[in-house]
Amino acid sequence: MQTLIENVNIINPMEEIGTHQNVLIKDNAIEKISSKRITVKKDVKVIDGQDNYLLPGFIDCHCHIFGKGFHKEENMANPLGIHFYNAVPHAAQTINAGVTTIRDCGSADLSFKLAQKRKMFVAPKIHLSINPLVMTGGHFDLFLPSGFDMEIMYPGYPKGRCDGVDEVLKKTREMKRAGADFIKVMCSGGVLTTNTSTEFPQFNIEELKTIVCEASANNMKVSAHCHSLKGMNNCIDAGFSSIEHGTFIDKKTASRMVEKNVALVPTMLVHQHLYKNGFPAWDSYAKEKTAKLKEIVNVHKENIAMAYEQGVNILMGTDSGVIPHGHNLEELNHLTDIGMSEDEALACGTVKAAKFLGHENLGLIKENYVADLILVNSNPLDDISILSDNDNILKVIQDGFEVKN
């Protein structure tokens, strides 16, 4: 199968724009790029780019494709099947936003990955963590004071709760067995879990090192949900590959992350969205969550800007699933707000994200690279906010197939 895209302006982060280019796709890869006319056979699909802008498909490095707000009450009220059916519209919304690959930080299982590969519905390609590891009483330990356990559980989706070296070792192996591509660990309190604080670390250093050792033996990276400064330093000491959120990061910790090559996924969009829009009226813990959010938004942007200035490797992630899906590229606005150029922000969601995930032929528009592409109607290097409006994303191509027109 071949597709020819004619008359487009190619944007690769940190490169000159390639004007009036033609791009030939064969199967799932870019075969040829030329400013000259490319002659093809009659059965080749031809797309008139109309002098619009062609970008690599985006990679969201932190989302929850099954998530719909993580309201424990809905876990109790809904049949389990709703958990899976939610993923179908969420996947379409994510594709329509221009995201062709996601790194799911907890909620999705192997069924989603297989369904996407088998093209059962339109969906981003996925890197799975299955279920985050959480200590008793920690962030997303959903065993409530009432005695009800609100954690979703079914065959092929191991529970994440574990304590001590032996249990975290076994849980890491269980997530690998269930199909995880990387391991996610809750290493501090969080906004959505009551009776936890974002300032305090979770899991001890021996537990964290055990998780990393076992994951590394299987060539898997380990990611930390972490707001806490002490928690971040524990994770750096243990050998984690990334910190998610990083709210209370300071200059010394940022320097350590640079030294140890630890990436940061700040997810600024989620905090701003929740603080602006709040929680459902029926959420009896809304007041406590809002208080924690206020503490976070007051320092998060300033601290992430400092981390950027220190040279920390920052990747685009949104925490979609906690907030509604389909607004992913709004995160780019927040990245430019901390001082990034438009080029740098684009790189965080394309080539840098691809490299972090281990893809050497993804995230750029180059010959022999995977044909994950988006066509937009104006130049985001002039105004990156145009990518926040899904109507400006005219087409999305994934593995050479047009999945949004």
Q: Rounded to 5 degrees, what are φ and ψ at 133?
A: -80, 130
Whether residue 131 sits in one domain with residue 112: yes
Residues 96 and 149 in one domain: yes
Place of tokens 């938004």: 297
Residues 187 and 95 in one domain: yes
Same-domain status, 301 and 214: yes
Q: Examine the pLDDT at 300 and tell me if it is beyond 80.
A: yes
pLDDT tens-digit readout, 234-273: 999 999 999 999 999 999 999 999 999 999 999 999 999 9
CA 285, 286, 288, 289 dihedral sign is: positive
Q: Among 91, 150, 148, which residue's Cα sits nearest to residue 121? A: 91
Task: Identify whether the C-beta of residue 221 lies closer than 8 Å to the C-beta of residue 180.
Answer: no
Question: Which residues have C-beta within 8 Å of that of residue 287, sequence separation ≥ 6?
Answer: none
CATH number where 26 lies: 2.30.40.10
How many folded domains does the chain comprise? 2
State which amino acid sits at residue 118.
R
Burial 279-313 (b: 16+ CB within 10 A, else e): beeebeeeeebbebbebbbeebbebbebbbebebb
pLDDT classification of 50: cutoffs 50, 70, 90: very high
48 and 81 within one domain: no
- pLDDT tens for 344-372 read 999 999 999 999 999 999 999 999 999 99
Which CATH number do you get for residue 339? Answer: 3.20.20.140
Do 188 and 233 fall within a single domain?
A: yes
Q: What is the pTM of this model?
A: 0.96
What DSSP letter does each residue of 303-330 carry, written as one string? Answer: HHHHHHHTT--B-----BTTB-SS-GGG
> In the prediction, which pLDDT does 159 show?
96
Q: Give CA–CA dist 329/91, Å, rounded.
A: 15
Please check the confidence at residue 71 and state whether its pLDDT lies above 90: no
Q: Residue 7 is part of which domain span?
A: 2-57+363-404
Whether residue 15 is found in the same domain as residue 83? no
Average pLDDT, the chain: 95
- Quick: pLDDT tens for 171-224: 999 999 999 999 999 999 998 887 788 899 999 999 999 999 999 999 999 999
* The two three-digit tokens of residue 291, written as one number: 């208080």
- In a shared domain, residues 324 and 299: yes
Q: What's the pLDDT score for residue 293?
A: 86
Report the 10 Å Cβ neighbour count for 341. 14
Q: How far apart are CA 291 and CA 287, in angstroms?
A: 6
Counting beta carbons within 10 angstroms of the beta carbon of residue 335, is it exposed (0 to 12), middle (13 to 18) or buried (19 or more)? buried
Q: Are residues 194 and 301 in the same domain?
A: yes
Residue 63 near residue 21, CB atoms below 8 Å: no
pLDDT at 317: 98
β-partners of residue 373 are 56, 397
The yes-or-no verdict on residue 52 having pLDDT over 80 is yes
Asked whether residue 223 falls in the same domain as residue 339, the answer is yes
Residues 143 and 220 in one domain: yes
Give the model confidence (pLDDT) of 121-159 as tens digits: 999 999 999 999 999 999 999 898 889 888 898 999 999
166-171 contacts, C-beta under 8 A, 24 or more apart: 168/133, 168/203, 168/207, 168/210, 168/211, 169/210, 169/211, 169/214, 171/133
**Domain match, 75 and 155 both:** yes
pLDDT band at 404 (very low <50, low <70, confident <90, very high): very high
